[in-house]
Amino acid sequence: MPIDLILRKLRQKHTLVITAVCLLAALVGVAVYLSLPMPEGAALDGQDLSGLPYWKAWSAAKQLYPQPIRVSLPEEELKFEPRECGVKFDMGAAVGAARKTRCNVELRPFLKADEDAIRTKLENYAEKYDTTYREAEWHLTGTAPELATDRFDPTAPGQRLVVGMGLPEAHLNVDGVLDAILDSFSHPVSRNGDLIASVVKPERIPQMPDAESLYKEVYIEPVNDSPDLTTGGVKPGTYGQSVDLEALKAALAAAEYGQTVDLPLTYTAPDVIGEDALFQDVLGEYETKHNTNENRNNNLRLLCQALDGYIVEPGETFSYNAVVGERTAERGYLPAPAYSGNRLTDSVGGGVCQGSTTLYNCVLLADLEVVFRACHGAAVSYVPAGLDATVNYLTTDFQFRNQYRFPVKIRAEVSDGYVKMKLLGTDEKDYYVKMETSSGEDDLAVYARSYKCKYDKQTDALISREIEAFSTYYKNIG
């Protein structure tokens, strides 16, 4: 074998030996390096690596690889998988940095992620759910009904109050959420679970509608019908309009932004409609005390039932006997003390003169025209002398005429020990009436005068005092 060939083979073997020795030395070096303990204070994302062999520190770092993250947003929950987000960590560099710095190392600098993929997912959400500012507003729907009392149709559909709750201007902070996701990926140890609660904070918030203010906006107060002083008829009023305030408060409190509250309006009739408008003023009012005779009180109740509600039209002459009717047992009247001339006897219907007397005083105070009135033959106890009016179905009536432009209604009742009457109508007078009496007497009789006194309504000054009637009451009662 040539010498040069032998030398070449020797050199090859030498090279292999040297290479093997070098590899062995390298492996020994790596083993030694991997077995070296991490210095005191070395940590990754708060996880202590102090004293761990390097290879165990590397193994611990692998456990920090991120888990999936769910992001809770107002309208949807988004899930981000690390792999689909292209998340990668350079764990070797992170462990080396911890070893070198001997302190806690944040993982964020060693994180790589596909930020464009994360941003696209967030922007798709924002495109669907970002909101544009809208003020709260209200309006009425439906056809407004005629509210005039002579045209209002209670069967017609009414209007409804519709309140839009408004909408805040809100935009998802894509950069902020993206940064939170990346930060969560880089803090797997300190992260509490895998849910990020991200609130989309409104930039402008509309003022919530106020129930009281809305109620005032739609409220229309009902207006009573009233006398038409030009025509002598009835002037129509109007129905009121409102919404149920408590229901509105509850609906607004329960509604959320962007929703609509829808409530029906309610319509309220005024207190006075139609001919009742002509009887709102008390023209004259009077009451007389009755006694305890039950038969007499029965008769008083019957005559009041006959009179109550009777309307005396303009120009009409009222007849007490015609309206009350004949006082008979068949009609329920009972025997009771009554005057016949100046004699006190029991007769069917006794006591009806107290009704005519009470009505007579109402007529005087209302200043209606007295057509016929007669006094009793003897004085009665329930009114001053000169202010009574006797009646007898066959012989004596009490009559008055309504000389005014508007009708007059009689109200009559027996209650609380009194016969109570009033005349209702439309008072156009600028004065009111008070009655006065004076009397004198001799052995035969008591002589009385009644005076009608008129006073100015504004100043209470006496306008006039005139004799109304003369009355004679005989003392000798047979």
- What predicted TM-score, i.e. pTM, was given to this entire model? 0.65
Over residues 120-148, mean pLDDT: 92
User: Distance between the two ends of the chain, CA-based, in angstroms?
Assistant: 191
Q: What is the pLDDT of residues 349-408, one digit of tens each?
A: 999 999 999 999 999 999 999 999 999 999 999 999 999 999 999 899 999 999 999 999
User: Residues for the chain: how many in total?
Assistant: 478
Cβ neighbors of 425 (< 8 A, separation 6 or more) are 278, 279, 281, 283, 366, 404, 406, 407, 408, 409
Predicted pLDDT at 197 = 65
CB of 240 closer than 8 Å to CB of 252? no
Give me Rg for the CA atoms of the chain. Answer: 53
Predicted pLDDT at 86 = 82
Portion of the chain with pLDDT greater than 70, in percent: 89
Q: Distance between CA atoms of 308 and 302, rounded to whole angstroms?
A: 10
Q: What is the pLDDT of residues 167-176, one digit of tens each?
A: 998 888 888 8
Q: Distance between CA atoms of 373 and 400, rounded to whole angstroms?
A: 9
**Three-state SS for 77?**
strand
**Three-state SS for 337?**
strand
CB of 222 closer than 8 Å to CB of 240? yes
Q: Distance between CA atoms of 424 and 284, rounded to whole angstroms?
A: 7
Predicted pLDDT at 99 = 83
Tell how strand 160-164 and strand 137-141 pair up: antiparallel
Q: What is the pLDDT of residues 92-101, one digit of tens each?
A: 787 888 788 8
What is the DSSP code string of 274-312?
GGGGGG-EEEEEEEEE--S-HHHHHHHHHHHHHHTT-EE
What is the DSSP code string of 402-471?
--SSS-EEEEEEEETTEEEEEEEE----SEEEEEEEEEEE-SSEEEEEEEEEEEETTT--EEEEEEEEEE
Predicted pLDDT at 29 = 47
pLDDT at position 64 over 50: yes
Predicted pLDDT at 156 = 92
**Max mean pLDDT range (115-119, 160-164, 193-197):** 160-164
- CA neighbor of 316 nearest in space, from 449, 408, 224: 408
pLDDT at position 21 over 90: no
DSSP code of residue 349: T
pLDDT at position 191 over 60: no
CA distances from 266 to 80, 255, 476 (A): 54, 21, 69
